A and B are shown apart, each in its own frame.
Chain A
Amino acid sequence: MFHVKQRGRIVVVGGGHAGLEAALAAARLGAETVLVTPDPAAIGAMSSNPAVGGLGKGHLVREVDAMGGALGRIADAAGIQFRLLNRRKGPAVQGPRAQCDRALFAAAAQAEVTRAGLTVVSGEVVDIDVSAARVAGVTLADGTHLTAAAVVLTTGTFLGGVIHLGHRQIAAGRMGEAAATRLAGRLREAAFAVGRLKTGTPPRLDGRTIDYAGLQPQPGDDDPVFLSHETEVPAAGQVPCHITHTAPATHDVIRAHLAESAMVRGEISGPGPRYCPSIEDKISRFGDKDSHQIFLEPEGLTTDLVYPNGISTSLSEETQAAFIRTIPGLERAEIARPGYAIEYDYVDPRSLDHRLAHREIAGLYLAGQINGTTGYEEAAAQGLVAGANAALSLAGREPLGIDRATGYLGVMIDDLVTQGVTEPYRMFTSRAEYRLHLRIDNADQRLRPMAEAIGLAPRSPAFAAKQAALEGARTTLRALSLSPTEAGRLGIPVNADGQRRDGMTLLALPDVTLATLVPAAPMLATLAPALGAIIETEARYATYLDRQKEEIRRLAAEEAETLLTDLDFASVAGLSAELRAKLAARRPATLAEARRIEGMTPAALVLLLALARGRPGRRSA
């Protein structure tokens, strides 16, 4: 047993995507950081599907990347197939996705640990030491105490994890890895608002037993778009995925064995997500659909394992084997590892503030699935925020300020801490009010300057050059002033209204590109195509962005109406008992935060505003 006493140490509990990103962020900000995990060799494991990114998720990875985070770099290093989703739709709703080689992914993650010089301690945290409502350290299973000024909890599915496989129930955090059962018990004892959630994973197939001949291949993009702003070429060999579908016979087998499903038997208390239900859920809930799509995703270049995305299940191993073989291409497929459902504890994220810090226990931060989210990207993004805020707080500095108008990260954290979760929370672009502004092409412009300024991301000369080039192009375009006749000469038809138009205005017109304007402003020809595309996007969305900017400004003005911190919500008359209870539970720091509480009425906001301003509310009927 050893005691380490040092001021200002941050202990990160958990070595998943949230834990890794939290530890790296804290270390980048100069904090002494220790990552504790039962199995250091498992850092960088992909518990679920071997892919990173997608819509909303790809946005989050870009934001993590813009702030010096590792997930984008790791995914790119391991990428064996890159696809930009929604390529044919607008730039605001395009998201990059990478199919990853598990081994390369883990190796790249481990390399990040080494590169950052992180201290990794092998052990199971069984308790969080709290003294006078402040974190003092953690206790490991072997009795070791690690003192800490801040603790970041990233327990993923390990907290009270129970695997359901047919009729069997196994206490585990991942198949074959012990659950954090004692810590879960301690958190419940300590009266944390703990709930249960469920997720699932499909069986892994032996690729050598799959007949790809009749299946539709899904190749990667010819001109790949990467998850990190800095990646330029794929590092690994590129392979396709394949698509198959469930058959009527598949549904018959599953229907006949529905009674095996832990969900159906009611043994799982936690709700699963509505958007990636198990195959048995899909079949019982959407009975009229006679086929469901399955993506056969290779788990890597050096393994034969294949991840059949779309058929997560908790049915028995025998039933899994039976229904798999009814699927075209999988008639002779062997299951290497069965799928299962896993149920785990999460802490109501409404007990956190926007720093992801616990409201009651100073120095305690929570990130990832423990906050009710699902997905590597959501976890990593929260990890970065929690780790950075822990380090900033210990240094007596301002927390990261990423609001809904600045990043998907801001949307996610705001949703979590103000609304809570009723199912595992996943990022969707439709959750963002400022979607047209929150794009993958400007994640660095939105977040990197702030991250560099506080030391979270290294100064990047390449980024500075990019910013300068973009600003130069914008200035040139704004300075451009063309009459309708002059525009006509460039092949741009505009109304002969005598109005002169600037370059940005012309660029917003259909079929006008930067190339169209080059004769009038030769400087534009020197702009790199990728940067040109950014400018074209800005012009294209300009009207909407202006409108949104105005909304953002209004929101910011509202944010400034900070509620009195000592406001006793429980005793505010004129509010419904329900609202009073919600306010008392969440203690919104600002009016804007209060506004997003479910069931909040404008009248109640008027009342809160009046209280904050210290004058009685007046209103005539």
Chain B
Amino acid sequence: MASRDDTIFALATPPGVAGVAVIRVSGPEAVRSLALAPGPLPAPRLATLRWLEDAGDRLDQALVLRFAAPDSFTGEDVVEFHTHGGRAVVQSVLRALGSLGLRPAEPGEFTWRAHANGRLDLTAVEALGDLLHAETDRQRQQAISGVSGRVATLSEGWRDTLVEARALVEITLDWADEDVPEDTAPAVRTRLTGALDRIAGALAGGPVAERIRGGFEVALVGAPNAGKSTLLNALAGREVALATAVAGTTRDVLEVALDLDGLAVTLVDMAGLRAGGDLVERLGIDRATARADAADLRLFLHAPDAPLPEAARRLARPDDLHLATKADLAAVSTGDLAVSGATGLGLDALSSRIAAILGERAAAAGPVGHARQIGHLREAADAIRAAIETLETDPPEIVSEHIREALRALERLTGRAGPEAVLGAVFSRFCLGK
């Protein structure tokens, strides 16, 4: 069994040539890594300029930072070396650290230690991952709020209300012989519906939060030769293209990820929709139809020489945009906007319209935006609903069972089990005992 009483190190910045590289060391013996930077022990959190040396060989001149446990990212002693970002420099420092008996970190091990040491709850760990991958302003804002513990704080509030509700149920069970209110059901209901409303509110904003994180999907829908690819390329050329386009699920789908006014948006150009064709083509069309239907917004392309097929028209929803394409070729006939991918006509207006529509939706984003988090929150909401229902129909021990289940779901959400607080809530509220 490998001992875990060890100190780990890793390059924290991307490998390759760069101005600066950060090498992080964490663990009980982190300070030992300062053997590379001879001199007095640097004060915590104060940058110190030092020469790094290994067996008399000068490796680099670096900024050295020391953090004393528990006031560090991982909650352990941490030392950071900010070296010049050359491959040979980084390699020589890493090699020297290894020769000190420290261990190279496994992927994600710093974050994992931060979680293990109680520095980050599960939702904050997830938000940290989002922050590292954030490419737009809205993604960043949402991730920052998660990293700062917003979900955990909300969850604590919901939990307190549920603990109170359960205490009010338990009072009628364990203290039946005492001077306690006979019927606490109305007070229990108030708390349960209060918690449910707040959780349901967070859940309602879940899909939008998920979109902000993963990107809104905007589908280009039109007959073959309606100008979809031209429009896609034109938009991609004008807006900031994001690095990490969501991988396409089918080969006949083209995707471009854009930053529209801080929102991550994936434009999807699919197989043209038309009736007929051979079997393979029809399968492609079915997939395209389903994808377009599931998208957050559809742009319907009406070209003078390629009218929208009937099947495509049926996908339209109120917010969707109808574009008169190839506006350079013919007079505007149908649609909200005349655009031309070839001349750039109307493209700015189109971008603004898309950003405005999605921006309005994004305003409704909730605090919880991960499938895992939404799943646990749904479990909690379902259990609370069941508790409210059984309040009418079943004895109190059943109601209590459902509330307990809701509490467990919240524990899974943050990955933190709170203390069994029900008895405390009972005793602080009622004078009990004979």
Interface residues of A (CB under 8 A from B): 49, 54-56, 85-86, 89-90, 92-93, 273-277, 282, 285-286, 289, 292-295, 309-310, 428-431, 433, 435-436, 510, 544, 564, 571-576, 595, 598, 600-604, 606-607, 611, 614-621
User: B380-398 CB contact bits vs A (8 Å, 1 = yes)?
Assistant: 0000000000000101111
Interface residues of B (CB under 8 A from A): 1-7, 27-28, 70, 75-76, 106-113, 115-118, 122, 125, 128-129, 132, 166, 170, 172-179, 393, 395-398, 400-401, 404, 415-417, 419-420, 422-423, 427, 431-434
Cβ of B112 and Cβ of A603 under 8 Å apart? yes
Cβ of B1 and Cβ of A611 under 8 Å apart? yes
Q: Given the complex, which residues of A lie within 8 Å of B397, measured CB to CB? A: 89-90, 92-93, 429, 435-436
Bound-state CA distance A90–B431 (Å) is 24
Q: With A49-B434, A430-B166, A572-B4 given, can you name 13 additional A-B contacts, CB distance below 8 Å?
A: A89-B172, A93-B174, A275-B432, A286-B431, A289-B431, A428-B174, A430-B174, A573-B5, A574-B112, A575-B116, A611-B1, A621-B108, A621-B112
Bound-state CA distance A574–B397 (Å) is 40
> Which of A86, A293, A428, A576 is within 8 Å of B118, CB to CB?
A576
Cβ of A310 and Cβ of B173 under 8 Å apart? no
Cβ of A56 and Cβ of B416 under 8 Å apart? no
Cβ of A603 and Cβ of B176 under 8 Å apart? no
Q: Would A93 and B173 be within 8 Å (CB), given that A601-B118, A603-B415 are in contact? A: yes
CB distance from B362 to the nearest CB of A (A): 25
Q: Given the complex, which residues of B lie within 8 Å of A617, measured CB to CB? A: 4, 109, 112
CB distance from A376 to the nearest CB of B (A): 14
Q: Would A571 and B432 be within 8 Å (CB), given that A275-B427, A429-B174 are in contact? A: no
Q: Can you name the residue of chain A whose Cβ is closest to the Cβ of B121?
A: A601
Q: Given the complex, which residues of A lie within 8 Å of B116, measured CB to CB? A: 574-576, 601, 603-604, 606-607
Q: Would A544 and B401 be within 8 Å (CB), given that A286-B431, A571-B5 are in contact? A: yes
> Which of B2, B6, B415, B432 is within 8 Å of A276, CB to CB?
B432
Q: Given the complex, which residues of A lie within 8 Å of B177, measured CB to CB? A: 54-55, 85
Cβ of B129 and Cβ of A621 under 8 Å apart? yes
Cβ of A611 and Cβ of B431 under 8 Å apart? no
CB distance from A324 to the nearest CB of B (A): 16
Bound-state CA distance A310–B431 (Å) is 11
Cβ of A85 and Cβ of B176 under 8 Å apart? yes
Bound-state CA distance A598–B122 (Å) is 18
Q: Given the complex, which residues of B lie within 8 Å of A89, measured CB to CB? A: 172-173, 176, 395-397
> Which of A273, A277, A293, A436 is within 8 Å of B179, CB to CB?
A293
> Which of A56, A277, A510 is within 8 Å of B433, CB to CB?
A277
Interface centre among B7, B416, B417 (most CB of A within 10 A): B417
Interface centre among A282, A293, A309, A595 (most CB of B within 10 A): A293
Cβ of B416 and Cβ of A601 under 8 Å apart? yes
Q: Would A436 and B178 be within 8 Å (CB), given that A428-B423, A573-B27 are in contact? A: no
CB distance from A197 to the nearest CB of B (A): 15
Q: Would A601 and B400 be within 8 Å (CB), given that A276-B433, A614-B1 are in contact? A: no
CB distance from A129 to the nearest CB of B (A): 39
Q: Given the complex, which residues of A lie within 8 Å of B107, measured CB to CB? A: 618, 620-621
A-B contacts, 29 listed (Cβ < 8 Å): A55-B173, A56-B174, A89-B173, A274-B427, A274-B432, A275-B432, A275-B433, A277-B431, A277-B433, A282-B431, A294-B434, A309-B434, A428-B170, A430-B170, A430-B174, A433-B404, A436-B401, A573-B7, A601-B116, A601-B416, A607-B116, A616-B4, A617-B109, A618-B106, A618-B107, A619-B112, A619-B115, A621-B112, A621-B129
Q: Given the complex, which residues of B lie within 8 Å of A598, measured CB to CB? A: 419
Interface centre among A93, A574, A603, A616 (most CB of B within 10 A): A574
> Which of A85, A274, A544, A620 is within 8 Å of B398, CB to CB?
A544
Cβ of B432 and Cβ of A619 under 8 Å apart? no
> Which of B28, B122, B401 is within 8 Å of A573, CB to CB?
B28
Interface centre among A56, A430, A571, A611 (most CB of B within 10 A): A430
Bound-state CA distance A56–B115 (Å) is 37
CB distance from A559 to the nearest CB of B (A): 17
Q: Given the complex, which residues of A lie within 8 Å of B166, measured CB to CB? A: 430
Q: Given the complex, which residues of B lie within 8 Å of A49, measured CB to CB? A: 434
Bound-state CA distance A294–B434 (Å) is 7
> Which of B176, B400, B417, B420 is within 8 Å of A600, CB to CB?
B417
Cβ of A86 and Cβ of B5 under 8 Å apart? no
Cβ of A564 and Cβ of B431 under 8 Å apart? no
Bound-state CA distance A619–B106 (Å) is 8
CB distance from B350 to the nearest CB of A (A): 37
Bound-state CA distance A85–B172 (Å) is 11
Cβ of A564 and Cβ of B1 under 8 Å apart? yes
Interface centre among B108, B117, B132, B397 (most CB of A within 10 A): B397
Bound-state CA distance A56–B174 (Å) is 8
CB distance from B176 to the nearest CB of A (A): 5
Q: Given the complex, which residues of A lie within 8 Å of B178, measured CB to CB? A: 293
CB distance from B257 to the nearest CB of A (A): 22
Bound-state CA distance A294–B122 (Å) is 49
Q: Would A292 and B431 be within 8 Å (CB), given that A56-B174, A430-B423, A576-B75 are in contact? A: yes
Q: Can you name the residue of chain A whose Cβ is closest to the Cβ of B422?
A: A430
CB distance from A297 to the nearest CB of B (A): 9
Q: Given the complex, which residues of A lie within 8 Å of B122, measured CB to CB? A: 602
Q: Given the complex, which residues of B lie within 8 Å of A292, measured CB to CB? A: 179, 431
Q: Can you name the residue of chain B whose Cβ is closest to the Cβ of A311?
A: B434
Q: Can you name the residue of chain B whose Cβ is closest to the Cβ of A90?
A: B395
CB distance from A617 to the nearest CB of B (A): 7
Q: Given the complex, which residues of B lie within 8 Å of A56, measured CB to CB? A: 174
Q: Given the complex, which residues of B lie within 8 Å of A604, measured CB to CB? A: 116
Cβ of B2 and Cβ of A616 under 8 Å apart? yes
Cβ of B415 and Cβ of A602 under 8 Å apart? yes
Bound-state CA distance A85–B113 (Å) is 50
Q: Would A621 and B433 be within 8 Å (CB), given that A573-B6, A575-B117, A602-B415 are in contact? A: no
CB distance from A536 to the nearest CB of B (A): 13
Bound-state CA distance A574–B7 (Å) is 10
Q: Given the complex, which residues of A lie within 8 Å of B396, measured CB to CB? A: 89-90, 93
Bound-state CA distance A292–B178 (Å) is 10
Cβ of B115 and Cβ of A601 under 8 Å apart? yes
Bound-state CA distance A86–B76 (Å) is 52
Bound-state CA distance A524–B164 (Å) is 43
CB distance from B396 to the nearest CB of A (A): 6
Q: Given the complex, which residues of B lie within 8 Å of A601, measured CB to CB? A: 115-116, 118, 415-417
Cβ of A310 and Cβ of B434 under 8 Å apart? yes
Q: Can you name the residue of chain B whose Cβ is closest to the Cβ of A56?
A: B174
Bound-state CA distance A363–B4 (Å) is 34
Q: Would A621 and B400 be within 8 Å (CB), given that A575-B116, A600-B417 are in contact? A: no
Q: Can you name the residue of chain B whose Cβ is closest to the Cβ of A564?
A: B1
Bound-state CA distance A98–B166 (Å) is 28
CB distance from A272 to the nearest CB of B (A): 10
Q: Given the complex, which residues of A lie within 8 Å of B108, measured CB to CB? A: 618-621
Interface centre among B109, B115, B125, B431 (most CB of A within 10 A): B431
Bound-state CA distance A608–B220 (Å) is 51
Q: Given the complex, which residues of A lie within 8 Å of B179, measured CB to CB? A: 292-293
Q: Can you name the residue of chain A whose Cβ is closest to the Cβ of B427?
A: A274
CB distance from B78 to the nearest CB of A (A): 13
Bound-state CA distance A309–B179 (Å) is 13
